[in-house]
């Protein structure tokens, strides 16, 4: 089989898995008892779709939260994932749970508000994508009914069952508003059926199927009923719902089929936008006993399309005139096509707006009880999206805006996120007639994300000694490292009502600034080195700060405030670059884990005053010299004068061992809570002071190891000098350890050395 045939076969398989052959009403009832999800009402089905994909743990604003994977758009590789705003999304799910169970919120219209570029549009796409893909799964199948009345007039005597087969497929017409198959049953029978169905459910939320068939289906039902009654048929319902006339078909949920979306640009009279319009040319041709025929109606309104599942009013401020007409839809669950024709609706109403809708709703706020919009505001259940206040999420969002990357970042430990945050980007651009690559260097996206997040944070609740960069790090990582101490976010008293994320630099501004830099004329850097294609963190930060002064999206007060927040961001990013350079210089001087473990064993033996057994079964006695060498050479913590005769520790060294190392060992033992605690159980990386000190280097370490090193010679070091050797090794290590290119490694290390050389001597 050829590759082309393989793809055709895969497509056939996909459609076979998605669609089923139509079934009879009886077969559908049997299948609903086997899989009740397929019979769920709108809000329950939406809730089940969201819950079907499970949850994952995230850290947002420094706190652990459970996030529904549905909002990561997993079926589409994260293409329209909603980043952040987990609390808002969880509240939305809680709303759905209350609405589905009829616990007092069923009259509510869920309103997603918030400034531009906060993910509200992604919410719409994520809902559409997620529901579409869920409806393709066996447990998420969605069903409606279709009618064939041509078979009722094929012969003078009406019959059904085996005697009459359905005519051509062109005579089958599906319910134009996805009517639920169980609506065909008379109410008493339906109630009995649902009672039995819900009695078999493990779920605490019952399936509810209320109302009547849609007008189109009622017209077909009534026609068949009339024909068979005239013919003297005794088992009237069986005749009407015979497979020759009625069958149940599954459909894939999409816009127009279970999801109605009213876009900002959609126009027409309110009735047209809500339910559709009459097709005047057909009214004379269709007989409906002296009234307008529902078969001559175009069910293209947002409620008609969304019947059975979800109705979204996008950019609701453009359709404010409709909102009051939607008031009774959640309450009465019905709308009118015409004065004499009513249509029952089962849909979850969601409206999305920018802040301008709130201004419209509040225009009569001073009128108090006489406010004509008061009833509408009472029914709106507001959920507000905010700008991202997590560094990692904002970095991920910026990368999405600049590249085609869509997978959602899901890390087991924060070290993985840190690596993604600092990661460079390679972008293909056109420069005149040439197509080349530009590199956005390591930490450049991090710089843009951090500046954006810092602009969005409320500084009024900052604890003493912290700045907004510290707050941003706390919100993303959950803790700060202050020397040897780890300080958790819970140790600080941040105001839950602070205005974090309510304003600030939007991602669209950041994206446009970086895109502008990518298309700038070259030759902004060293003329003798091919580095003109590299965009550095300081390039982005300077461009963002300069552009704030001219961008009309910012007020005068915002411009001043954002400019004042630039310096601490620059300082933080420089520290990250400096750390990279130091790690690259000292790469070969790192202590291996076995040496660290040996030191911990000896310290434990020293503290307990007795031998300990390691994981190799060896008995360890404390070796004073080994501990001294590790502390002076590897930790760089103490000088020789901190020790007494025979390498015994002085007071400062003894305190360090007890308070920093042993305390951490005891904490680890308590947290592990094993029946027996052995020193061999200790992972050296669990001791914070060891981890902190060994993971970081400083310039004193460099001075101690490379005595002839001179940072002022870094740009053009003399041949055969220690500085030249260190530079060559550092450039290579920056590329291997952190993904720098040769160009960005050169620029970053030069930038760091320019600062270091000022204080080296």
pLDDT in the model for residue 362: 72
Q: Which residues contact 411 (CB under 8 A, 6 or more apart)?
A: 417, 420
Bridge partners (DSSP) of residue 291 are none
Contact 374, 381 (CB under 8 A): no
The long-range contacts involving 641-648, CB below 8 angstroms and separated by at least 24 positions, are 648/624
Distance, CA of 630 to CA of 379 (rounded, Å): 68
Contact 239, 160 (CB under 8 A): yes
Distance, CA of 208 to CA of 201 (rounded, Å): 13
Q: Which residues contact 56 (CB under 8 A, 6 or more apart)?
A: 66, 67, 69, 72, 410
Q: Which residues contact 350 (CB under 8 A, 6 or more apart)?
A: 109, 110, 111, 112, 127, 310, 311, 312, 313
Q: How many residues does the chain have?
A: 761
Distance, CA of 310 to CA of 43 (rounded, Å): 8
Contact 219, 294 (CB under 8 A): yes
Element (H, E) at 112: strand 109-113
pLDDT in the model for residue 530: 46
Residue 85 DSSP class: -
Distance, CA of 397 to CA of 412 (rounded, Å): 19
Residue 721 DSSP class: S
Distance, CA of 612 to CA of 266 (rounded, Å): 77
Quick: pLDDT tens for 117-176.
888 889 999 999 999 999 999 999 999 999 998 877 544 333 334 444 445 678 899 999
Quick: pLDDT tens for 220-275.
999 999 989 888 888 899 999 999 999 999 999 999 999 999 988 888 888 899 99
Distance, CA of 161 to CA of 166 (rounded, Å): 10
CA dihedral 560, 564, 569, 572 (to 10 degrees): 180
Distance, CA of 114 to CA of 615 (rounded, Å): 57
Distance, CA of 653 to CA of 272 (rounded, Å): 82
pLDDT in the model for residue 164: 43
Task: Report, as ranges of residue numbers, the positions in the chain whose pLDDT lies below 70.
Answer: 1-18, 153-168, 281-290, 364-372, 429-436, 483-484, 521-532, 614-617, 665, 667-696
Q: What is the DSSP string of 338-402?
A: ETTEEEE---EEEEE--THHHHHHTTTGGGGGG-TTHHHHHHEEEEE------HHHHHHHHHHHH
β-pair type (173-174, 434-440): unpaired
Distance, CA of 458 to CA of 504 (rounded, Å): 10
List the one residue out of 263, 339, 333, 341 whose CA is nearest residue 299.
341
pLDDT in the model for residue 395: 96
pLDDT in the model for residue 375: 74
Bridge partners (DSSP) of residue 222 are none
- Calculate the CA 608 to chain-centre distance: 50
How many angstroms separate the Cα of 45 from the Cα of each of 27, 97, 143, 190, 672?
Answer: 21, 10, 12, 19, 42
Bridge partners (DSSP) of residue 427 are 438
Distance, CA of 709 to CA of 723 (rounded, Å): 5
pLDDT in the model for residue 148: 92
Largest CA distance in the chain: 119
Distance, CA of 505 to CA of 333 (rounded, Å): 41
């Amino acid at each position: 089989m050829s590759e082309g045939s393989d793809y055709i076969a895969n497509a056939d398989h996909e459609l076979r898995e998605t669609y089923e052959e139509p079934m009879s009403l009886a077969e559908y009832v049997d299948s609903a008892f086997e899989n009740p999800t397929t019979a769920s009402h709108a809000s329950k089905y939406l809730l089940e779709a969201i819950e079907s994909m499970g949850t994952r743990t995230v850290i947002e604003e420094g706190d652990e939260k459970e996030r529904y994977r549905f909002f990561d758009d997993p079926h589409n590789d994260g293409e329209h994932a909603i980043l952040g705003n987990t609390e808002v999304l969880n509240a939305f799910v809680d709303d759905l749970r209350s609405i589905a169970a009829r616990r007092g919120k069923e009259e509510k219209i869920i309103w997603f508000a918030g400034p531009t570029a906060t993910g509200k549009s992604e919410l719409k796409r994520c809902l559409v994508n997620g529901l579409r893909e869920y409806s393709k799964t066996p447990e998420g199948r969605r069903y409606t009914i279709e009618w064939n009345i041509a078979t009722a007039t094929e012969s003078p005597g009406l019959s059904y069952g085996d005697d009459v087969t359905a005519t051509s497929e062109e005579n089958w017409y599906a319910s134009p508003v996805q009517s639920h198959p169980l609506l065909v049953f008379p109410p008493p029978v339906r109630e009995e059926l649902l009672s039995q169905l819900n009695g078999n459910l493990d779920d605490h939320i019952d399936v509810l199927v209320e109302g009547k068939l849609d007008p189109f289906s009622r017209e077909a039902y009534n026609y068949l009923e009339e024909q068979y009654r005239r013919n003297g048929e005794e088992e009237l319902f069986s005749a009407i719902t015979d497979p020759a006339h009625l069958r149940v078909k599954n459909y894939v949920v999409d816009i127009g089929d279970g999801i109605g979306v009213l876009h900002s640009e959609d126009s027409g009279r309110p009735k047209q936008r809500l339910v559709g319009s009459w097709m005047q040319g057909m009214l004379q041709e269709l007989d409906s006993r002296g009234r307008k025929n529902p078969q001559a109606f175009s069910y293209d309104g947002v409620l008609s399309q969304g019947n059975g599942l979800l109705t979204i009013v996008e950019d609701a401020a453009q359709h404010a005139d409709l909102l009051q007409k939607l008031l009774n839809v959640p309450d009465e669950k019905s709308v009118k096509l015409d004065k004499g024709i009513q249509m029952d609706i089962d849909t979850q109403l969601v409206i999305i707006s920018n802040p301008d809708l709130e201004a419209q709703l509040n225009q009569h706020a001073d009128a108090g009880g006489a406010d004509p919009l008061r009833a509408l505001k009472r029914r709106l259940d507001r959920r507000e999206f905010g700008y991202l206040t997590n560094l990692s999420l904002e970095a991920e969002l910026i990368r999405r805006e600049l590249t085609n990357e869509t997978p959602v970042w899901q890390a087991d430990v924060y070290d993985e996120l840190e690596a993604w945050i600092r990661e460079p980007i390679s972008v293909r651009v056109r420069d005149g007639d040439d197509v080349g690559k530009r590199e956005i260097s390591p930490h450049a996206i991090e710089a843009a994300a951090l500046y954006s997040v810092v602009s969005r944070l409320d500084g009024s609740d900052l604890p003493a000694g912290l700045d907004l960069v510290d707050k941003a790090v706390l919100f993303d990582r959950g803790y700060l490292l202050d020397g040897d101490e780890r300080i958790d976010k819970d140790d600080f008293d941040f105001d839950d009502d602070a205005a974090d994320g309510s304003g600030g630099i939007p991602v669209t501004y950041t994206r446009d600034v970086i895109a502008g830099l990518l298309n700038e004329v070259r030759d902004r850097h060293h003329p003798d080195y091919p580095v003109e294609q590299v965009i550095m963190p300081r390039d982005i930060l300077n461009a963002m700060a300069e552009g704030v002064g001219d961008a009309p999206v910012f007020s005068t007060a915002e411009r001043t405030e954002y400019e004042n927040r630039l310096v601490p961001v620059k300082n933080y990013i420089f520290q990250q670059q400096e750390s990279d350079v130091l790690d690259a210089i000292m790469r070969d001087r790192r202590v291996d884990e076995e040496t660290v473990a040996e030191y911990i064993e000896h310290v434990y033996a020293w503290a307990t005053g007795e031998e300990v057994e390691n994981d190799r079964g060896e008995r360890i006695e404390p070796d004073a010299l080994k501990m001294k060498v590790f502390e002076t050479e590897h930790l760089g913590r103490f000088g020789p004068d901190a020790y007494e005769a025979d390498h015994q520790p002085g007071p400062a060294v003894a305190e360090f061992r007890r308070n920093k190392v042993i305390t951490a060992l005891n904490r680890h033992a308590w947290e592990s809570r094993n029946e027996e605690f052995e020193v061999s159980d200790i992972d050296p990386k669990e001791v914070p002071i060891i981890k902190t000190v060994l993971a970081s280097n400083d310039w004193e370490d460099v001075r101690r190891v490379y005595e002839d090193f001179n940072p002022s010679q870094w740009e053009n070091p003399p041949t055969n000098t220690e500085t030249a050797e260190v530079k060559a090794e550092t450039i290579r290590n920056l590329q291997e350890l952190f993904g720098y290119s040769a160009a960005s490694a050169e620029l970053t290390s030069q930038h760091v050395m320019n600062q270091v050389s000022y204080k080296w001597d």
